[in-house]
Structure 1
Amino acid sequence: MTERSYIAVIRHGDYHQRKDVPSARQPFGLTVTGIAQAQSCGDLLAEMAQSQRLEFAPMIHCSRQLRAWQTASGIAGRLRGLGHEIDALAETSALAERGLGSAANLTVAEIDAVMQADPRYPSPPAGWKSDSDYRLPLEGAESLMEAGARVAACLTEIAETGRGRLSIVVGHGASIRHACHHLGLLTRAQIAQLSMFHARPLLLCYSGRDNWQHLAGAWKVRPSKEEALD
């Protein structure tokens, strides 16, 4: 029987962000609340590992966004304080949130103005920010589904190399949700119905051959009228 691997997927903590900017690749760090959330996440992970009788992999994986790195750093520090061996952090662009390419960090209004001024393309459709399949027709942009496929491939690679241990992965809510859809853990409808709590782990189990299970940790149920932006 193939040895199973376990991954705790975590959305970064609360962070500073520009208002009305749909890009989640903003370069800002955690708030005071977010720093505390990262510390608490270390405790939650220790409890999770103990209850599942798992040993942590020595490397924590995270995206290159500052808030993800800070969350991973806070988790690592707390786990080390509890006696767990965490050697280093591994940053990767594969865990980033959906990219808007050349429109990165523009406001919604600025993006609309750019599109209206470009004779090659129509204006973005209403609700485009949360449309899983829509991709801005701009250099370097990707859809949420494409971002999810990227993250899913990264999670599978980590799982394949981390057999028998619990790997910690810190990323971003929307790309993780779409990744879980690609991995067969969420239906298409659930992508919009669910969100992720800041710095609260979801435990996934991989047993090979694209077989994934959600073992522990709770999704955040999104209010029915709330637009799925994270």
Structure 2
Amino acid sequence: MKKLFLYILILLSIIILQSCARTEDGEPGSTSDDTKSLIIGVWESENYVVSFGNDGFYSAYIADEFIDSGDYTQSKNIVSCQNSYFNRTTIYTVEEVSDDLLKVNIDYKDLYGNKKTKSISFTKVKKTPSTKNNTLSGKSYTFNAPYFGNITMSFNTYNSGIKSATKGSAKQYPLNFFYIYIGEKVYYQILENATIQVPSIGAWTNYNDVICWTIDIGTNGEIIHIDTIPL
């Protein structure tokens, strides 16, 4: 009888130890501190992308008319991202995370103030996370268009800029844009100015569409070429 009791105690100890080991390994549902280091990196799901840096800065493209960036904080499996430009907060609830997989539920407000929820599974890619001190900040790029003359994209800060033209009606209406820069790609969207009645001028006022460019940077740090990527 004593041998049977001892055997049961040993068996229970083994089961408890295995259960603890699975939790510490970060299986689904784990809220260990390992989650904080595991989310750092660049994650993609088809055209969508999210970046978490070890400096507490985040950038993301997670919906057709939604790009985002700002400082983030994390408490267990809840990641809170504050966008000061739009004064909005996006919440990522981590459902599962490993070295190459990130499953999250995302609660966010779109450009029109509507609350949205989305679930996405991301795969980690070998790209450098975005930072506030990105390569584009403070630079500009000029190209020519038949109806607008020289179009200049001025990246005035780490997340905003102005699109201007030298020809036609567009010359009178420089437009603000918001952007993120991740892994040699810039995602930007032209923002409607509620205080100015800008007439519809072809592609000049394609408000809220997220447009993606690959950016080639020269040896002196200048922008030398762009290519549009369909999203």
* TM-score category, normalised to shorter length: under 0.3
Larger Rg, first or second structure (1 or 2) = 2
More helix by share: 1
Structure of greater relative contact order (alpha carbons < 8 Å, 6+ residues apart): 1
Give the structure-2-normalised TM-score: 0.24
- The TM-score, its normalising length taken from structure 1, stands at 0.24
